[in-house]
């Protein structure tokens, strides 16, 4: 990992007292630079985080995931990081996948890397599975390229993508907005690595609301598809070839979405 760009791990969180301590301890085993943005928690989350050797930024009241990510992005830019690796605070994402994400970023420099929940997908609740599939269909169209798991919060953002911090979008729409703008305006590639789907009972109820949030994401994406004008061409580009997947370990086996060769 020493050859990788200088990066930090950014974790937005809200009321994650059950998971945040063990999560941060596991992350610190892979990366010393960790920024946690607490979005107005009213449980013990801030106290748990402040006892660990990480940077804690706090919102005095809840402002949504998008604003939590913005706060973290601005801090990372101010500190001069070359990239930001985001993870959710509820324990769904494993710190053990950080080296695999960094490896994909090294193989595909300048790309966004997504930890795509392609393994054990039967664990996903039915409504969430359907919402994610619909979002993948629409956001890929908005990006003009196929993308696996557009709703995953475990992502590697190169600095150029982090600099899109001021995009006008809120809450869960912000992550879709960054994907679309990076793909369209920066011609930035997106590559995924397969990770586990983890929805066991120990996780708190998700802050993501499939109907409400997918509706907001859909309306935003439709607007961006119209904005970029090439409606039919972008649909063909995004729904013809398979998504780019970096899976050197063969975790997906015969079900791998793509067996891509790294550029250069």
Least confident of 83-87, 112-116, 219-223: 219-223
Does the pLDDT value for residue 52 go beyond 90? yes
- Does a structural domain hold residue 74? yes
For residue 114 the two structure tokens come to 């997504």
In the structure, what pLDDT confidence band is assigned to residue 125 with cuts at 50, 70 and 90?
Answer: low
CA–CA gap between residue 140 and residue 125 (Å, rounded): 22
Closest to 178 measured CA to CA, from 148, 197, 211, 156: 156
Does the pLDDT value for residue 41 go beyond 70? yes
- Does a structural domain hold residue 28? yes
Indicate the DSSP class of residue 121: G
- Does a structural domain hold residue 2? no
Domain total for the chain? 1
Q: What is the pLDDT of residue 32?
A: 96
Does the pLDDT value for residue 160 go beyond 80? yes
CA–CA gap between residue 97 and residue 87 (Å, rounded): 11
**Section 224-229 average pLDDT:** 94
**Each residue of 164-209: pLDDT tens digit?**
999 988 888 999 999 999 999 999 999 999 998 776 555 555 666 6
Does the pLDDT value for residue 48 go beyond 70? yes
Which domain CATH number covers 198?
A: 3.90.550.10
- Does a structural domain hold residue 154? yes
- Does a structural domain hold residue 264? no
What domain range includes position 187? Answer: 7-255
């Amino acid at each position: 990992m020493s050859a990788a760009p200088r990066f930090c791990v950014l974790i937005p969180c809200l009321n994650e007292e059950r998971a945040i301590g063990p999560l941060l301890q596991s992350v610190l085993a892979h990366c010393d630079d960790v920024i946690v943005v607490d979005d107005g928690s009213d449980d013990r989350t801030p106290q748990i985080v402040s006892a660990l050797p990480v940077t804690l930024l706090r919102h005095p009241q809840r402002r949504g995931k998008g604003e939590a990510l913005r706060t973290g992005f601005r801090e990372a830019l101010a500190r001069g990081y070359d990239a930001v690796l985001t993870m959710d605070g509820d324990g769904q994402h494993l710190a053990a996948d950080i080296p695999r994400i960094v490896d994909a970023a090294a193989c595909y420099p300048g790309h966004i890397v997504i930890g795509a929940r392609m393994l054990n997908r039967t664990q996903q609740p039915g409504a969430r599975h359907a919402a994610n599939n619909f979002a993948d269909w629409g956001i890929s169209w908005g990006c003009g390229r196929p993308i696996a798991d557009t709703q995953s919060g475990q992502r590697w953002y190169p600095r150029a993508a982090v600099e899109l911090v001021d995009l006008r979008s809120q809450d869960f729409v912000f992550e879709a907005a960054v994907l679309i703008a990076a793909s369209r305006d920066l011609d930035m590639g997106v590559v995924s690595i397969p990770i586990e789907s983890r929805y066991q009972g120990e996780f708190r109820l998700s802050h993501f609301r499939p109907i409400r949030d997918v509706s907001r994401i859909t309306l935003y994406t439709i607007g961006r598809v119209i904005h970029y004008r090439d409606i039919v061409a972008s649909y063909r580009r995004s729904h013809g070839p398979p998504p780019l997947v970096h899976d050197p370990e063969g975790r997906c086996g015969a079900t791998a979405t793509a067996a891509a060769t790294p550029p250069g």
